[in-house]
Amino acid sequence: MHYRDFHRESIANPDEFWRREAARIHWETPFDQVLDRSNPPFARWFCGGRTNLCFNAVDRHLAARAQQNALVYVSTETGIERRYTYADLHAEVNRMAAVMRSLGVGRGDRVLIYLPMIPEAVFAMLACARLGAIHSVVFGGFAAPSLAARIDDAKPALLVTADAGARGGKVIDYTPLVDEAMARAAHAPPKVLLIDRQLAPERLNAPYLVDYEPLREQHYDVQIPCEWLESNEPSYILYTSGTTGKPKGVQRDVGGYAVALAASMEYIFEGRAGDTMFTASDIGWVVGHSYIIYAPLLAGMTTVMYEGTPIRPDGGIWWRLVEQHRINLMFTAPTAIRVLKKQDPALLRAADLSSLRTLFLAGEPLDEPTAEWISEALDKPVVDNYWQTETGWPMLAIQRGVEALPPKLGSPGVPCYGYDLVLRSEHTGEPCAQGEKGVITLGYPLPPGCMQTVWGDDARFVKTYWESVPGQQVYSTFDWGVQDADGYVTILGRTDDVINVAGHRLGTREIEEAISSHAAVAEVAVVGVNDAVKGQAALAFVVLRDANAAASPADAQKLAAALAATVDRQLGAIGRPARVHFVPMLPKTRSGKLLRRAIAALAEGHEPGDLPTIEDASALLSIREAVSAGNG
């Protein structure tokens, strides 16, 4: 098959193209319309069809692969390793669903999942899908105020949590965070279901605490039928960062998502039933939702879920996992590879990697040295793929299951089938010429699997994503790119104030709001700068209410530490700036707009280029001085 024809057909005849792909999943009731485009920019896929994600991911495989492993769990933090066949997974999901139902969870209810990487997180997500409830997983690294904000937006009927997470040998106690979030939230759920790992001694507040284990025993043999949902009912909400401090709830459907993931397994990942896939991400991120859980299970594969870091007990752990579990497909972020590159290469060579077919990398730019190193070290194809929480599956990749086009260093490849991807001028909205930098946009309709809307805020969905390119109703990715004559796109960074630290997407506004909550702070600007390992690092430039508060180096250091601790408390340690610089003022335009791009350029040590008329030029100088002095 030729990629070009395949892609062209998917855009020219989406109805026929996706009708064919829809046969990959079970429809309890067939759909009567493939695509409803009567209300742009909204699109509805497989209208009238009724299906269930849990049925397709679990029950459907019982006939042929009940005894095949569905989930292999490895925690190098606790030393626990467990295997669940499809039959086991089915039983555990039924138990979890029965427990949730006994707590009043039903179709359309939201369940907020705040869990570390434990098998119960998978059971809980699939149990929601089974019941027709809408899960919203919040990454365990987020602090209480962030958790509370997500609770208030989703208004869940239940929160599921654990006593603790663990990372790098450190136990992270969830109890105080959850108690604080419950106290802060205006829409706190009546109950919190606790998975007790017995890692931390504290107990949640009694009025809402429900222990999972005794309830699981009680519901051990209960069977919960799958709720057949119309294809366009929501399956989940996943919050992600944008330009404002308020995260957006990306809402996804049921049928479109199932079809899109199942198709991606063949055309992009070349995964087949019976294969084993190891996606080293977190269930709190979209890569975890799509490629730890739903896609491999929809395809009848074995998924490996890992709690731990890539370098503990040593930098060979992932490669030994490949050997031990005969892993065929591996998926992680470039950051992890940059970390592993610093380890002894003998650790990689020591493992038998013969089962591994392909390594997939996504989430941030894959720099050329890292790409070259890992391709050579593994001697297997390395497939960079570009996408977002919003799209749910890759927009750009070499689609090896369609045609193994040659990779080009520095580019994630060509547009994936279903995506009408066009680079456009930020000023005119017109398509860019070859080699000209532009905003990466998608034409209407987005293919199946992409976000339906912003949870509870259709207007925000339309305004944010579909009205930001001048004169065109197209979806903006908020990424810059450039496309070559062969259609390969290279990503050149975000057009908005989102940064990407170690593959974690963060809004600089969110970090700024956290820092501003400290009493000593008058003003702050946070920007992302290049970082050799993490891709980007956040730098904070802070104007103090009392400039003397950081006059001595010791005071400055103390205050910087206090601000970092504030970020930890307000947002979570993932948002902590790498450095805090104290400056007398921030560069702004005459109308008071912060000149973030100029600040970022100076912070990276180059000149800011063309600038609008600014209020006070000495502000730029003070940024430059702060960076070179390295104060804070």
String marking each residue 175-214 x if it binds ligand PRX according to CB under 6 A: ----------------------------------------
CA distance 360 to 103: 39
C-beta separation of 351 from 320 below 8 A: yes
Among the listed ranges 29-37, 272-280, 384-392, 558-566, the one in contact with ligand PRX (CB under 6 A) is 384-392
Q: State the minimum distance, in angstroms, from the CB of residue 388 to ligand PRX.
A: 4
Interface residue with ligand PRX, options 97, 362, 371, 567 (CB under 6 A): 362
360 binds ligand PRX (CB under 6 A): no
Among the listed ranges 78-86, 350-358, 386-394, 518-526, the one in contact with ligand PRX (CB under 6 A) is 386-394
String marking each residue 410-449 x if it binds ligand PRX according to CB under 6 A: --x-------------------------------------
- Binding to ligand PRX in span 457-486, by CB under 6 A: 477, 479
389 binds ligand PRX (CB under 6 A): yes
Element at 504 (helix H, strand E): strand 504-507
364 binds ligand PRX (CB under 6 A): yes
CA distance 123 to 343: 35
Residues 6+ positions from 632 with CB-CB distance below 8 Å:
550, 556, 557, 560, 579, 580, 581, 582, 626
496 binds ligand PRX (CB under 6 A): no
- Beta bridge partner(s), residue 330: 278, 359
Mapped onto helix, strand or coil, the DSSP state of residue 621 is helix
455 binds ligand PRX (CB under 6 A): no
Residue in this structure with the two tokens 């699939």, named with its chain if needed: 126
Interface residue with ligand PRX, options 267, 269, 387, 582 (CB under 6 A): 387
- Binding to ligand PRX in span 233-272, by CB under 6 A: 240
C-beta separation of 240 from 461 below 8 A: no
C-beta separation of 498 from 508 below 8 A: yes
Please give the residue whose beta carbon sits closest to ligand PRX in the complex: 389
String marking each residue 298-337 x if it binds ligand PRX according to CB under 6 A: ----------------------------------------
Taking CB atoms within 8 Å and a gap of at least 24, the contacts of 95-99 are 95/123, 95/216, 95/219, 95/220, 95/222, 96/120, 96/123, 96/124, 96/126, 96/127, 96/216, 97/127, 97/130, 97/131, 97/224, 98/219, 98/222, 98/224, 99/127, 99/193, 99/212, 99/215, 99/216, 99/219
Element at 75 (helix H, strand E): strand 69-75
Interface residue with ligand PRX, options 491, 501, 506, 559 (CB under 6 A): 491
SS3 sequence, 593-605? CECHHHHHHHHCC
Q: Which is nearer to ligand PRX, 226 or 382 (CB)?
A: 382
Q: Which is nearer to ligand PRX, 41 or 363 (CB)?
A: 363
CA distance 53 to 26: 9
Interface residue with ligand PRX, options 256, 365, 608, 632 (CB under 6 A): 365
Task: Extract the tokens encoding 266.
Answer: 């063949």
Among the listed ranges 67-75, 378-386, 525-533, 548-556, the one in contact with ligand PRX (CB under 6 A) is 378-386
Interface residue with ligand PRX, options 89, 103, 182, 287 (CB under 6 A): 287
Q: Which is nearer to ligand PRX, 157 or 286 (CB)?
A: 286
Q: State the minimum distance, in angstroms, from the CB of residue 538 to ligand PRX.
A: 15
Please count the residues of the chain.
632
132 binds ligand PRX (CB under 6 A): no
Cβ count near 607 (within 10 Å): 10
Among the listed ranges 38-46, 122-130, 280-288, 568-576, the one in contact with ligand PRX (CB under 6 A) is 280-288
165 binds ligand PRX (CB under 6 A): no
**Distance set, CA 435 to CA 122, 475, 481, 538, 542 (Å):** 43, 21, 9, 30, 38
C-beta separation of 212 from 195 below 8 A: yes
Task: Extract the tokens encoding 286.
Answer: 């979209």
Q: State the minimum distance, in angstroms, from the CB of residue 392 to ligand PRX.
A: 9
- Binding to ligand PRX in span 502-521, by CB under 6 A: 505
Query: Which residues of this chain interact with ligand PRX, rule CB under 6 A?
Result: 240, 285-287, 362-365, 384-389, 412, 477, 479, 491, 494, 500, 505
